[in-house]
Structure 1
Amino acid sequence: MLPEMIEQLSPPPVPAQISWLPQTWGWALIGGILLVLVVWWAWRQWRRWQANAYRRQALAELEHRLASGEGATALAEIVRRTALAVYPRQHVANLRGTEWTDFLDRTLPSKRRDFAGPLGELLSTGPYRPVGSVDQSDLKALSQLVRSWIRDHRTNLQQETSR
């Protein structure tokens, strides 16, 4: 008799599904603001990645040409072409000797004067020296300096040309 009575009972009602959507407009506003911020941040990162494409290309070409044994000639040419890609031609193309090395030092974020010494002179005169006459340790140090310049140079022309 008890089992028959239990079978006659109606099942308990199932509660309504709980919505995952915010119930107040404040949460929707915060979610919208966060979405806008994330989209803005992603857009800025994409623009920065695009703007630095010349750096990636210069570093890849530098590695390729150094591996083929071009040495100081490749370093001088690639650093000059990279500078011409970023700065206006009238500010870069006519720089030679100490003016060129001073420009390279000014565009680095560090306050050191890495190009002012013998490495800067090697950058200026190395392409005109006979092949094999450049010391390999100096060439290695210069290639590291050129790599760091390509990666880290500032592109704010107003600061560089006002000096």
Structure 2
Amino acid sequence: MNDDPTNLDRLHDIVMPPAVPWFPLASGWYVLIALVVAVTIWGLIAAWRSWQAGAYRRAALAQLEGTQTVAEIGEILRRTALVIAPRAAIAPLVGDAWADWLESRADRTMSADVRRQLVDGGYAPNANQADLGPLRSYAAGWIKSHRPSAVEQG
């Protein structure tokens, strides 16, 4: 063999180190994974609580579809209102006070026909022959979007 340091026979291929393995992960990855899992669990719990909190709205809307009279719609609105306010605050409300209370917790205003139907409570002459479409529409909108006042929240 030739001992000449410039001889090309002495060259070797470049030796690469082995590839870095994926596991075990660095500790920062474990922290990130734990954080993602915690946020996902928190989001699922929040979604579940929100879904459960809206159960009374879904039930009221389902009952509203089968109503035939003004009194039935008024009853559904009262039962829905009892979920967000104490009975002592809801029970004495009748007539214009009841309509004003409903309107104060809704995003839209109440038409004169709807107000008249709610104030009469279905006991006016020809009340059951009246068109229930606007009242049912207002009731559905109120059930979907009502909000308790700051006093009622605690």
Q: How would you bin the TM-score normalised by the shorter chain? A: 0.7 to 0.9
- The residue that corresponds to 2:83 in the other structure is 85
Tell me by how many angstroms 1:132 deviates: 6.4
**Count of residue correspondences:** 137
More helix by share: 1
- The residue that corresponds to 1:121 in the other structure is 116
- The secondary structure found in structure 2 opposite 1:114 is coil
Task: Tell me: CA distance 1:106–1:122, structure 2 relative to 1, closer, same or farther (3 Å).
Answer: same
Deviations 1:57-95 (A, max 9, x none): 11111112x2xxx22121111101111122101111111
The two structures have a TM-score, normalised by structure 1, of 0.72
Amino acid in structure 2 at the alignment position of 1:158: V
Give me the whole-angstrom Cα distance separating, in 2, the residues matched to 1:90 and 1:159. 11
Tell me by how many angstroms 1:32 deviates: 0.8
Moved over 4 A (4+): 15-18, 130-133
* TM alignment of 1:101-140, pairs within 5 A: 101-108=99-106, 110=107, 112-114=108-110, 117-130=112-125, 134-136=129-131, 139-140=132-133
Give me the whole-angstrom Cα distance separating, in 2, the residues matched to 1:99 and 1:91. 11
CA RMSD of superposed structures (Å) = 2.6
Give me the whole-angstrom Cα distance separating, in 1, the residues matched to 2:96 and 2:124. 18
Identity of aligned residues (%): 34
Unmatched segments (≥5 aa) in structure 2: 1-17
- The residue that corresponds to 2:10 in the other structure is none
- The residue that corresponds to 2:58 in the other structure is 56
Amino acid in structure 2 at the alignment position of 1:103: W
Task: Tell me: CA distance 1:157–1:74, structure 2 relative to 1, closer, same or farther (3 Å).
Answer: farther
Task: Tell me: CA distance 1:26–1:107, structure 2 relative to 1, closer, same or farther (3 Å).
Answer: same
Unmatched segments (≥5 aa) in structure 1: 1-14
Structure showing greater relative contact order (alpha-carbon pairs closer than 8 Å, 6 or more residues apart): 2
The structure whose Rg is larger is: 2
Task: Tell me: CA distance 1:127–1:157, structure 2 relative to 1, closer, same or farther (3 Å).
Answer: farther
Give me the whole-angstrom Cα distance separating, in 2, the residues matched to 1:80 and 1:23. 58
Amino acid in structure 2 at the alignment position of 1:144: S
> Aligned pair 1:144/2:137, yes or no?
yes
